[in-house]
Structures are given as C-alpha cells and as structure tokens.
Structure 1
Amino acid sequence: MRMFDWLGAKKGLPLWISWRLNSKMKDDVEQIFEGIADTRKELLMSWASEYWGHMEKLAEQLGSHMPSDSDAITDVQRQATSRLLERTYLRGMDFTELFILNTANEVIYSTYEKHQGAGYGAGTILFPGLQYIHSSGQPMPCLYGPFGDPITLELGPRTSSFHDKMTLLFLQPLIVAGEYRGAVCGRVPNDVLGDLIQRESGHVYPDSGDNYLFMAKPQLNSHIALGTALSRSRFEDRTFTHGENLKDGVTTDWGIVSIKEHTELEIIFTDPATGELHPGVTNTIRNGSNLFVEFPGYSDYRHIPVIGKGVTFQLPHCPDGWGMMCEGDLEEVYRIRSIEWRQRKILQRLLVLQAVLTVVLVGLLAGQTSPWVTGAAAGGFVLLFGLILTGTLQRKESNRVVGHLSRINRFIRINAEGKGDLTQRLKLTEFDNDESRELAKWINNMIDSLEGIMLQVKLAASDVLSSQHVMNESAAVTAKSTERVSGQVGEMIGSIRLQLKDIDMAKEAADAMRDTLRALEFQAAEQIAVAQSEVDRIGEKMQHISSKVGDTNDTIRRFMHTVDEIRSVLQVIEEISAQTNLLALNASIEAARVGEQGRGFAVVAAEIRKLADLTRKSTEEVHGITHQIYEEAKQAYTSMDEGTQVVEEGTQLVAAAASTLQSAQSEDDRKTQVVDEVVQLMEKIAVISMSNRKVSSNVEGRVQALIGEMANVRQTSESVESITRFLQQLVGQFKLTESRHR
C-alpha cells in the first residue's frame, strides 16, 4: 500500500505498471511540460505587451484631442477621438470595447454607444482599478481583473468561442502636458486567456491535459484567495470533456465538485481528500515553479493523479502575481505501449506456442518412430510453423505500422506541398497507442502551431495591406500638400525678391533724405544760432527793463510813502489849527468878559482865529492835492506793476523761445539720428531678406527633393502593397479555420 501511496493498490498497480514500462520517457515528459509551460507563459507575456502597445499608442494619439474639465468637447475632437478608437478596435482583435473616462470617472467616449454616460464612482466594479492607477501619486497603467461585468456578457464574444461575463480591463492614464485628463480603457473577455493557453486543436494530451491560471500573490485583488482559478478550465463544459464536467459536477469520494457559471473565481484548486490546496499549486506558489512527472503524481481537485509543471509570473502592469499549471493525467501521459514492446510480446507468445506444439508433436511420434524421424519431423514442424505463423503475424504487424506511417506520410505530404488544408488533423483514434500515435499527436500539435502562425501572418498581412492603403492615401495627400507648399514657397521667394527691390529703393530714398536733412540741419543750425543770440540779447534787455521797472516801482512806492507822511503832517496841522481856533474863541470870550481891558487881547484872538481858519483852508487844499497825488501814484504803481508782470511774461517768453530754439536744434539732431537708424534698419532688413531668400531657395530645393522622395515613397508603398498581396496569396494557398484566432 505504501508503494502506491494515496492511490491504493487497486488504482495504483495499473498506473505503476504503465510508469515502469515507460520510465525511460521521464526526461522527454519533463521537456514536454517545461516546453508547454514556457511557451504558454511567453505567449501570455507577449499578448499583454502587444495590447499595452495598442493602449499606449492610443493614449499618445488621444493627447491632443482630450479637453480639460473646463473645456467643452467640440465636434472635431469628438470625430477625431471616435476615429482613433475605431482604428485601435480594429487592430486589437481581442478588444470588445474601448472607452474613455474623464477625471470624474464618467464614460465620455465608447465604441459601445449604450455605455456612454456611465459613471464609476466608489463601490462600482471598476473603482478598485481606478484607485490603483493613482495609488503611487503618479498615474500609472493597470491591468485589472478578472472580474464579472454584465456589459462584457452583453457585448458578446469577438474572438473566443467561449464567452461569459468575466473581464480583463486595460487601464491607461491620459496625461496631457503633465496633467491627468482621464483614462482610456480596453475591455477584453477573460476567456481570451483560456484560448491563449489551451490551444485546443493542438492539445498535447487531448483527453486530460489542462492548462489553467490561478491566484498566486494577490495585491490589488486581495479578496481573491490563493489557488483560486483565474481562467476557464477545459472541463467546464462538454465540448472537450468526454466524461463528467464541472457544470454538471465531477464526482469524487468526498463530494461533487461543480461550478455555477464559470470556472474563474468559483473554484479553488484543492484536494477534496484534505481540503487543502493540491500539491501542484501549493509547491508552485511556495517555490515559484514546480515540476513533477513521476509516479504516483499528485491529486488535483478531482482527486485524480496528475503530473505537470507549474510556474508563477506577473503580466505587465498587473499588480497581482499569477500562477499557471500545465498538467496531464498520469494515466494518459504514460499510456503509450511501444511498437518494440508489442512486437516482443507477440514473438514471445509465438515462441511459447511453438514450444508447446513441438513438445506435443515429439510426444506423439516418440513411441512410434525412430528418434531420427521424430527429430526430423520436429525440425520440419518448427520450420514450417515458424515460416507460416511468424510470416503471417509479421506481415500483419508490418502492415499495421506501415499503414500508420503511410497515413502520416500522406498527411505531411499534402501540407508540405504548400497548398495544404491546415484545418485537418490526424485522427488519433485511428492509431495504436504506440509511437505512431505519439508521432501523430505531435504532428497535430505542429500543424496547429503552423495554422496559428499562418493565421497571424494572414491577419498581419491584412493589417499591413490596410495600413498600406492608408499610407498610400496619406502619401498622395502629402504629395499634393508638398506641391502646394512648393508653389507657395516659390510665390514667397518672388515676393521676397520684390521686397528686396522695394527695400533697395527705400534705402536709396532714406540716404537722399538723410543728405537733405543734414543740409537743412546745417542751415537751420546757423539760423537758430543767430536767433539764439538775438533772443539772448532781447533777454538781457528784458532783464534790464525789468530791473528799471523794479526801480521805478520802488521810487513810486517811496513817493507814496512820503505822501502818506505829508498827509499825516497835514492831519496834525489840522488838529493844531482846530485847537488854535478853539483857543482863540476861548480867548475872545474871556476878553469880552473882561471888558475894555481885554479889547486888545480880543483883537489878537480874532487875528489868531483868522490865521487858524486860513491854515485850515490851506491844509484842506494841500490835503486834496496830496490825495490826488496819492491816487495818481497808486495808479502809476498799478500800471508799473502790470508792466512788471508783462516784462516777466516777456522774459518767460524769451526763455521759452530760447528753449524752443534749443529743442529745435536737438530735434533736428534726433531727426538725423532717426534717419540714420532707419537707414541702418533698412540695411539690416536687406541683409535678413537676402538670408531669407537663400533659406527660401534652400527650402524650395528641399521641397522639390521632398516631392521626389514622396514619389519614391509612393513607389515603395506600392511595391510593399504588391509584396503584401503576394504574401496573402501564399497564405491563401492554405486552408485556415477563420473562426480560430490563436
């Protein structure tokens, strides 16, 4: 029991016998699984890189058409964006939708019109991937999935014969001038991955072999447990399963293993006997790779002994680490029975039969004939039996082997002639379980690979041809544009030549103007010098007049002051006269009271009164005269003051005239300087125009050369188109499965 480990003797003994009979195949089996794993891993990496190339190129082309959030989308931008999306959609055959999200995570463009306007905020299916592209601070691409999206199911398949809602999404940030403007997204059905790694028509182990992906190191999708399936299994439906399948349920001693909708995210690769991840997945996750092809194998989720190779890897821009198992049932892998072993077994049986018959014959003849007769009869029987039976059986065995080889030879010959039907495969059921079947199996695998390559070549040729048409059209448009540019350059050169003539004439006119202005400047300078001297002399006279007027004003002011003093003295005299008159009156009164004694004194008092009256009258006359003199002096002072102001204004005008003459002289100098600058500028313009004429002539020559090169490009493009058509004809000689894109 220990010898057969977990299988038990009933199941283990037949497998152990097969293993022992074919143990020499171990190295070949190891190489087979190593090759399958490496090829499939490289295929996945190349596919992901190719589609990231589509996304990066599309994002680069969309940069000039993506408006900022504050800008409205124009019809021109919308049409250009739609054309770019459609072009990338046609080139990326696995895309079922391309759409663009703005900074608010809203769909603003899509190849699927019903999807436009959808939003992906918090809690939506795309939100974790959209968060991840910003997680490092700098927006970065992200391969998000697999995840279930009903839109994928609604869109339907494009390249895969299987289809469900499981989705992979390429998220490529759109960066314009260092600013994040949104993301362009490419939707791919997850079943495409199953097609990539399964390649059903060329499956090495068609009855049992299964290549599948599982979660090995969750980062973004941390909710997915280790060992969870990430791709479709061959045993998901009845297409490639001749027994139980996962949808109907696979029966084990520990229960039924089944799925509801699809393998992805629904099944974990555990051993039903233990409930733990089966050894192939466990060791692959632990070690990064795992190869085991010996008896008794290890138990898979069906509790069937399998062998194979497991590897881990990380697709470009995918945060999660994935694992892949490439397995086959131990029974199928070591089921082969060699032609040598079969022939040896037949010969051994013939020898045993011959020996038995010889013994019977000798026993019958021994008592009836002499020993020599018995021996001769036995020898003849052996010879005859050997010739008849071995010849018949050998001929049958040879025909059997030769028939298989002839069938293989015919199949190879048809395809070797270059016009084969690559959709045909050798039927493995028509071959014995020996080297001929192995040979047929690997020929099928080779033809399958060849068909895939030829189909890719055909698609590439079609892509090149369509691109060539676009290139031809672009070359034609460019050639016409170049011719128009050439004509415009010629017209520009003609205009530059006319400009050079005008510039030369303008330069000559500027030179003549400069000479005339210099002569006028010389004459004006002489006249301005004379005028300047006269103005200076007038200024001196005006200053002298101003000084005299000032002196006169001072004299009149002093005279007015003297008149005021006279008026003051007259006022005193008036007061004295009034007092004298009052005293004389008092004296007359006193003299009259005295009588005769005071009569003489009264005469004196009367005379004094007369003198006082006369003084008063004279004082009044002098006062009137001084008042008139004061008023006339005041008027004279006012007139002189006005004259002083006029003289000051005249002095200011003389100064202004002098300043004007100086400005006129400096302005003439400035005019001469401006004219010199204009002449120098005209000379520089002439030099620049000469350079422009040379540059334009070079441009004209280069445009003409470009026109010639464009003609060569068109010829080369037409030649490439012819070669592409010839390549299509070569590929067209082979019959390919049009529905198969892998």
Structure 2
Amino acid sequence: MPMFKGLGWRKGLPLWWSCRLNADLEEDVADSFEGIADTRMDLLQSWTAEYWDHLDRLSGQLSAMRRGSSIPSGDNQAAWEHLFAGTRSRAADFSEIFLLNANDKVIFSTCEQHRGQDYCEGALIMDGIRYSREIAEGRKCLFGPYRDPWTLTIGPSSSSFHDQMTLLFIVPVVEDGVWCGALCGRVPNDVVGDLIQRESGHVYPDSGDNYLFMAKPGLQTHIAPGTALSRSRFEDRTFTHGENLKDGVTTDWGTVSVKEHTELEIIFTDPATGQLHPGVARTIRNGSNLFVGFPGYSDYRHIPVIGKGVTFQLPHCPDLWGMMCEGDLEEVYRIRSMKWTPFRHLLGWVTMLGVLGGALGYLLAGHVGKLHEALIIGAFNLLMGLVMIASLHTKVSNRVVHQLRRLNRFIRINAEGKGDLTQRLEPASFDNNETRELSKWVNNMIDSLEGIMLQVKLASADVLSSQRLLSDSTFATAGATERVSGKVSDMLLSIRSQLQDIDIAKNVAGEMRETLRMLENKASEQIGIAQGELVRIGDKMVQISDKVAHTHGTIEAFMQTANEIRNVLHVIEEISAQTQLLALNASIEAARVGEQGRGFAVVAAEIRKLADLTRQSTEEVHGIVRNIYRSAQDATTTMAEGTRVVGEGNELVAAASDILRSAGADESLKTQIIDEVVILMEKIASVSKDNRSISKEVESNVRELQAGFMNVRHTSGHVEAITAFLQQLVGQFQLTEKRRR
C-alpha cells in the first residue's frame, strides 16, 4: 500500500505495472516533455518578439508621418488606414491596433467603434500605460492577461475560442523626451493558449495539457502565484473522463469549475491539501521541474500526472510566467511494446503446449512403447509449433506489418512533396504499442509541418506582395535617382562655372588690391603735398587776415583823417564866409570913400571872388570827402566781411587737413577691406574646390546608386521569381487554410 502513495491497489497497481513494463521508456518520456516545454517556450518567445517587431515597424512609419500631423486628418486619413490595415493583415493574431494620445484617448484604431474612447484612471489598461511611461524615454510593456470588454466586442482574431481575456502590447510614443502616447496591439489571450496547446498534433491527445500560470508577479501584483494565465481545457471535452472546467471537473474533494474564464479564476492547487500542486510549486521554487516517474503527482482532477514545468519571462513583460506541460501517468505509460505482444502470444501457446503435451504423455503412458510415445509427442509438438508459428504470423506479424505499411504509406505520400497535410492518422486504430506512439509523433510532425508550410505560404505571399511594392518603389526611385543624377551633373557644371568666375574674381580682387595700393601710395603722396599746401595756404590766410586787419585799421585812421578834413573845411567855409563879408564891407566902405577908395574896392571885389572860389572849392572838397568817407565805410564793411571770409577760409583749411588725414586712414581701411575680400575669395575658391571634389564624389555615388538600383531591380525580379517558385512548391501540399497551431 505505501508503495502506491495513497493511490490504492485498484489505481496504484495497474499504474505501477504499466510503469514497470515501460521502465526503459522513462528517458524517452523525459526527453519528450523536455522537448515539448522547450519548443513551446521558444515558440512563445519568438511569437512575442515577432509581434513587437510588427508594432516597431508601424511605430517607425507613424513617426515619419506624424512630423506633419500628430493625428489623422482628411489629408492623411487614407495613409493611416493603409498602414494600420497592412500591419493588421501581416500580424493576424492582433484583433485591433490602436493609438493613444498623451491624454489616454484613442485617436486612431483599426476598430472604428473604439476611436475616441477615453480611458479614465480606473481602467485596467492604465496599469500598463503607467508602467510604460514611468521613465522619461518610455518603455515597452506586455500587459496582461486582463479582462477587457472591448476584446469581446471586437471579436476573435485567429483562435476559435474567444472571450474578454486580453494581452496588450504597448509601445511608447516619445518625442523630444516627452510622452506623447502609446501604440497598442490587442491580442485575445486564447491565441496564447492555442500557441502552446496545438491540439491537433498533441502527443498525448487524451490528457496532454500545456498551460501558463503566474510564477512571480512584477506588475500585476494582485494575481497570486499559481493562478492560470491561459485557457486550460475550458470548453473542449478532452479530459480523461470527458470533462471540462466549464461544466465542472469532479474530484473526491469536490467539483472544480470556473464561471467565465480559466484565466485568473483558477489556481492550480492539490485538491486534497489546498496547496499548490507539486509540479507548479516546484517549478516556481526551482525555475524548472521535471517529474516523469511513478506515482507522479495529483492535479486538481484527482488524477496522477507527470510532466515538465519551466518559468520564463516574455520580452518586455514585467511578470515572470510559468508553464506546465503535463500528461496523465496512465496515458503516458499505457503503451505495450511490440516485443511484449509476441511474448504474450507465445507465452500462451507455450503454456497450452505444455499442458497438452503433458496430457498427451499421460494418455500414452503404458499403452505404447517408449519409441512410439516419443515419436507421437514429437509429431504433436511439431504440429503445434507450426500452428503457433502460423498464429503468430497471422495475429502478430501480419498486423504489425500492416500497421507499419499504413505508416509507411502515409509518410511516403507526404515525403514525395505532394502530400495532403490536412490528413492525420487515427492513433486509436493502431495497437497500443510503438506503432501508436509512432502515429502520434507522425501526426505531431505533420501538424508542425503544416503549420510551417502555412507560415511559409503566408510569408511568401507577404514577401511577393512586398517584393512587388519594392520593385515599383525601386523603379520609381531609380527614375528619381536618374533625375537627381542629372541635377547633380547640372550642379557640377554650375559649380565649375562658378569656380571660373570665382578664380576671375579672385584675380581681379588681387589686381584691385595692387591698384589700390598704388593709388593709396599716390594718394598718400598727394595728400602729403595737399596737406603741405594747406599749411602754406593757412599761413597765407593768416597773413591775409593780418593784412586785412592792418588795412582795416589804416582805413579807420583814414576815415578819422577825413573827419578831421571835414572839420578843417568847415573852418575854411567860415573863413570864406567871413572873408566875403569883409570884402562886401570893404566894397561898401570904398564906395563911400569915393574915388580914393576905388582901388580898395577892386581889391575887395577880388577878395570876394576869391572867397566865392574858396567856398566853391570847399563845397567840392566836402563832396570829395563825403565820397571818400562813404568809400571808407564801404571798405570797412568789406574788410569785416573779408576778415570773416578769411576766418572761414582758415576753418576750411583745417577741415581740409582733417579730411585729408581721414582720407589717408580711409584708404588704409579700403585696402584692409580689399585684403579681406581677397582672402574671403580665396577661401570661397578653396571651399568651392572642396565642393567640386565632393560633388564629383556625389556624382560617382549617384551613379553607383543607379547601378545598385539596377542590381536591386534585377535581384528583386529574381527574388520575385524565387518567391513564386516557393509558392508553387507550397501549393503542391494541401493545407488547412484556417490558422492552426
């Protein structure tokens, strides 16, 4: 009893006997579970990386498009639709791709109903969004599984099962260190369950179950370790006893069932103890656990199971996940080897031969001689041996050969390259020996092959479509490159012409510099002479000023003398008037005297004439003096004006000297400017030469680019032909168009 560890004789003994009969298969069973676990884990890792790549490419395309407009508008709406739809068609497991802005509003989505949705703080999606923007540069986040009603509304993507459970890929959109939103891809969580289950090719179809569980929460700390993260036999009736978790699984400790989803509603515990069952507990504790021996461990279905558990972290997922790959101990070891079948068959015949031989010997004893008895028994054994061989050949060898031929025919059809990959062997139609196991593995191989061929078919179609777009783009780019090459050639001609003009300008600037230097030297000499003449003119002006001042003083003295002359003339006029009066008096007195005074009267008359002549002369002198005085006044005014003009002349001479000095300085400045211009022209010439060299290199690169485009076009056509040939090869196989895992 203890050796069966609580299973009891009824359950424990048959299982123990099966394990003992197949003890030599334990290593193969371990390898099988190791392979299943590693393959499924690698599949999840590569699938996740692939879908990150899809979003990264879309994010890069949107980044280039968003430079002109951060949101889709009438001008670029069609381009956004094309990009999102293209990514959605290539990444078929996405049920939706949408873009959030900085305010957590859906500004674009492949689902029109979802556009404009505002996510408030309490929305479950916000846990992933906050994690993504916790750091300045943002970080990707694989968030989930979590319940999202939108997933149910939008509908399934590639899985036949569908509910609210969701995985969300979040790619941050950051510009200049500022969070601008997130690009998100929605995947129904049942897609992940299909990835690891792959029901059609399961090695243990009756009981094999691969499921995910929470090993160590990093972001979703509300999910306890051991909680289911993937659908596990929820609706399909493929448990050993034909049960599922939706209707309820009966155990000795009660019924285990879930309401809506396997995910998050069930924790993998031992129904007897209420603790995590050993496979899950040891996997979480050790990171990996393999258990394939008797008596296994009990799962929540009260059935002994064995298998492999492993923990892993998907790219950009903050949580540590675990995966169990299990099978019922009874199914794994129910096989009976082909070597056991003939042994059991022969054992029965040998037993019967022994019994019949003994009975025949007993009947013949004492009735015939020993010789006859030996002959009869020998003939009987020979006959029974022949019957045993015929029976073995009919019931064992022929059946084994028939089943092997079935396997051989099935494999041969697919090995010829034109097989029907939609067909599967029926393991139940084979005996419970190596042929059944082989049929399971053949189904598994065909299923894998069909999945690969479907992937190749989809990929080749995608490559062919992309190749045609590349060809069109290459053709257009080649034309643009040719036009660019023509423009570059024109630019080179223009640069060469500019270089010639620059060389001429440089030479002219050099000649100008030399000419300016000569003019500067001559101007400096002329300026020196002019400055000397100005000094002399200044001296002369000073002398003139002195002379004018002296003349002005002389004229003023002359005017003073003229005034004195006028005074003298007044005196003479008075004397003339008195003389005339005296002559008149003398004439009167001479007339009075008579004859004696006649001579005196004559003298008096002459004196009166002289007085009149004096008066007339005095008047004439008065007029002359007045004219002289007036002229002296005019001369004085003119002298004053001349003095002012001489003063202005001195100022002009001083200004002229300053101007000449400035002119000398300006000539030096002009020469300096010309020198700088010449140096600048030399630099321009040097840069232009570099540009000419670079332009030649650009022209050469453009020509190489043209040649490269021609090669790309040739290669593109070659790749297109190869892709078409690949599609032709894939087309030789009949495939299930529905996506299968």
After superposition, what is the alpha-carbon deviation per residue over 1:248-278, rounded to whole angstroms, capped at 9, x for unaligned?
A: 1111122211122221111111122222211
2:339 is paired with a residue whose SS is: helix
Where does structure 2 lack aligned partners over 5 or more consecutive residues? 554-634
Tell whether the 8 Å contact from 1:68 to 1:181 is kept in structure 2 after alignment. Answer: no
The answer to whether the aligner puts 1:43 opposite 2:39 as a matched pair is no
1:247 is paired with a residue whose SS is: coil
The answer to whether the aligner puts 1:316 opposite 2:315 as a matched pair is yes
Tell whether the 8 Å contact from 1:486 to 1:704 is kept in structure 2 after alignment. Answer: yes
Deviation, 1:288, is 1.4
2:6 is paired with a residue whose SS is: helix
Partner of 2:144: 145
1:339 is paired with a residue whose SS is: coil
2:436 is paired with a residue whose SS is: helix
Tell whether the 8 Å contact from 2:341 to 2:396 is kept in structure 1 after alignment. Answer: no
* CA distance in 2: counterparts of 1:654 and 1:388, whole angstroms: 155
The answer to whether the aligner puts 1:361 opposite 2:360 as a matched pair is yes
Deviation, 1:142, is 1.0
Deviation, 1:426, is 1.2
Partner of 2:204: 205
Partner of 1:59: 59
Tell whether the 8 Å contact from 2:137 to 2:174 is kept in structure 1 after alignment. Answer: no
Tell whether the 8 Å contact from 1:362 to 1:374 is kept in structure 2 after alignment. Answer: yes
Deviation, 1:196, is 1.3
Which has the higher mean CA deviation after the structures are superposed, 324-333 or 238-247? 238-247
1:25 is paired with a residue whose SS is: helix
Query: Could you tell me which amino acid in structure 2 is paired with residue 270 of structure 1?
Result: T
Change (3 A) 1:325 1:691: closer
Partner of 2:619: none
Query: Could you tell me which amino acid in structure 2 is paired with residue 435 of structure 1?
Result: E
Change (3 A) 1:664 1:351: same
TM-score, structure 1 as length reference: 0.82
Partner of 1:532: 531
Deviation, 1:501, is 4.4
Correspondence 1:77-116 to 2 at 5 A: 80-116=79-115
After superposition, what is the alpha-carbon deviation per residue over 1:362-403, rounded to whole angstroms, capped at 9, x for unaligned?
A: 344445444443443333222222322441343221111111
After superposition, what is the alpha-carbon deviation per residue over 1:294-320, rounded to whole angstroms, capped at 9, x for unaligned?
A: 221111011111111111111111111
Correspondence 1:487-502 to 2 at 5 A: 487-502=486-501
Correspondence 1:198-277 to 2 at 5 A: 198-238=197-237, 243-277=242-276
The answer to whether the aligner puts 1:703 opposite 2:702 as a matched pair is yes
The answer to whether the aligner puts 1:4 opposite 2:41 as a matched pair is no
Correspondence 1:259-338 to 2 at 5 A: 259-338=258-337
Deviation, 1:550, is 10
Partner of 1:19: 19
Change (3 A) 1:402 1:73: closer
Partner of 1:435: 434
Correspondence 1:511-526 to 2 at 5 A: 524-525=523-524
The answer to whether the aligner puts 1:425 opposite 2:424 as a matched pair is yes
Which has the higher mean CA deviation after the structures are superposed, 461-470 or 80-89? 80-89
TM-score, structure 2 as length reference: 0.82
After superposition, what is the alpha-carbon deviation per residue over 1:2-37, rounded to whole angstroms, capped at 9, x for unaligned?
A: 222122222222212212222222111111111111
* CA distance in 2: counterparts of 1:356 and 1:511, whole angstroms: 132
Tell whether the 8 Å contact from 1:517 to 1:672 is kept in structure 2 after alignment. Answer: yes
After superposition, what is the alpha-carbon deviation per residue over 1:699-740, rounded to whole angstroms, capped at 9, x for unaligned?
A: 323322321221111111111111121122122212222212
Tell whether the 8 Å contact from 2:311 to 2:320 is kept in structure 1 after alignment. Answer: yes
Equivalent residues, number: 662
Tell whether the 8 Å contact from 1:297 to 1:306 is kept in structure 2 after alignment. Answer: yes
Tell whether the 8 Å contact from 2:234 to 2:261 is kept in structure 1 after alignment. Answer: no
* CA distance in 2: counterparts of 1:342 and 1:550, whole angstroms: 158
Tell whether the 8 Å contact from 1:350 to 1:390 is kept in structure 2 after alignment. Answer: no
Deviation, 1:546, is 7.5
* CA distance in 2: counterparts of 1:129 and 1:522, whole angstroms: 83
Query: Could you tell me which amino acid in structure 2 is paired with residue 490 of structure 1?
Result: S
Partner of 1:184: 183
* CA distance in 2: counterparts of 1:672 and 1:365, whole angstroms: 149
Deviation, 1:646, is 6.8
Which has the higher mean CA deviation after the structures are superposed, 380-389 or 236-245? 236-245
1:301 is paired with a residue whose SS is: coil
Deviation, 1:210, is 0.2
Which has the higher mean CA deviation after the structures are superposed, 300-309 or 168-177? 168-177
Tell whether the 8 Å contact from 2:215 to 2:321 is kept in structure 1 after alignment. Answer: yes
Deviation, 1:545, is 7.3
Deviation, 1:527, is 4.6
Query: Could you tell me which amino acid in structure 2 is paired with residue 291 of structure 1?
Result: L
Change (3 A) 1:33 1:473: same
Deviation, 1:535, is 2.8
Change (3 A) 1:527 1:738: same
Partner of 1:582: none
Partner of 1:713: 712
Deviation, 1:328, is 0.3
* CA distance in 2: counterparts of 1:551 and 1:102, whole angstroms: 100
* CA distance in 2: counterparts of 1:353 and 1:460, whole angstroms: 63
2:108 is paired with a residue whose SS is: strand
After superposition, what is the alpha-carbon deviation per residue over 1:109-134, rounded to whole angstroms, capped at 9, x for unaligned?
A: 22222222212231012110111123
Deviation, 1:162, is 1.9
* CA distance in 1: counterparts of 2:549 and 2:317, whole angstroms: 105
Query: Could you tell me which amino acid in structure 1 is paired with residue 255 of structure 2?
Result: I
Deviation, 1:537, is 3.2
Which has the higher mean CA deviation after the structures are superposed, 269-278 or 540-549? 540-549
Partner of 1:657: 656
Deviation, 1:517, is 5.2
Provide the identity percentage. 61
Tell whether the 8 Å contact from 2:207 to 2:239 is kept in structure 1 after alignment. Answer: no
Deviation, 1:553, is 13
Tell whether the 8 Å contact from 1:67 to 1:181 is kept in structure 2 after alignment. Answer: no
Tell whether the 8 Å contact from 2:342 to 2:392 is kept in structure 1 after alignment. Answer: no
* CA distance in 2: counterparts of 1:640 and 1:8, whole angstroms: 154
Deviation, 1:435, is 1.2
Tell whether the 8 Å contact from 1:310 to 1:326 is kept in structure 2 after alignment. Answer: yes
Partner of 2:348: 349
Change (3 A) 1:711 1:641: same
Deviation, 1:281, is 0.9
Partner of 2:404: 405
Tell whether the 8 Å contact from 1:418 to 1:734 is kept in structure 2 after alignment. Answer: yes
Please provide the CA RMSD for this pair: 3.2
Query: Could you tell me which amino acid in structure 2 is paired with residue 24 of structure 1?
Result: D
Deviation, 1:421, is 1.3
Partner of 1:724: 723
Tell whether the 8 Å contact from 1:66 to 1:77 is kept in structure 2 after alignment. Answer: no
Partner of 2:469: 470
After superposition, what is the alpha-carbon deviation per residue over 1:94-114, rounded to whole angstroms, capped at 9, x for unaligned?
A: 222222222222222222222
Deviation, 1:61, is 3.6
Change (3 A) 1:669 1:135: closer
* CA distance in 2: counterparts of 1:724 and 1:535, whole angstroms: 98
* CA distance in 2: counterparts of 1:107 and 1:655, whole angstroms: 84
Change (3 A) 1:736 1:26: same
Tell whether the 8 Å contact from 1:236 to 1:245 is kept in structure 2 after alignment. Answer: yes
Tell whether the 8 Å contact from 2:227 to 2:263 is kept in structure 1 after alignment. Answer: yes
After superposition, what is the alpha-carbon deviation per residue over 1:66-114, rounded to whole angstroms, capped at 9, x for unaligned?
A: 4699x77665665554444333323322222222222222222222222
Change (3 A) 1:526 1:729: same
Partner of 1:581: none
Which has the higher mean CA deviation after the structures are superposed, 424-433 or 513-522? 513-522
* CA distance in 2: counterparts of 1:512 and 1:136, whole angstroms: 65
After superposition, what is the alpha-carbon deviation per residue over 1:548-595, rounded to whole angstroms, capped at 9, x for unaligned?
A: 9999999xxxxxxxxxxxxxxxxxxxxxxxxxxxxxxxxxxxxxxxxx
Tell whether the 8 Å contact from 1:100 to 1:110 is kept in structure 2 after alignment. Answer: yes
Query: Could you tell me which amino acid in structure 1 is paired with residue 35 of structure 2?
Result: G
Which has the higher mean CA deviation after the structures are superposed, 149-158 or 501-510? 501-510
After superposition, what is the alpha-carbon deviation per residue over 1:638-689, rounded to whole angstroms, capped at 9, x for unaligned?
A: 9999998776655443322222222233334444444454455445444444
* CA distance in 1: counterparts of 2:186 and 2:341, whole angstroms: 54
Query: Could you tell me which amino acid in structure 2 is paired with residue 325 of structure 1?
Result: M
The answer to whether the aligner puts 1:119 opposite 2:118 as a matched pair is yes
* CA distance in 2: counterparts of 1:184 and 1:106, whole angstroms: 11
Query: Could you tell me which amino acid in structure 2 is paired with residue 392 of structure 1?
Result: S
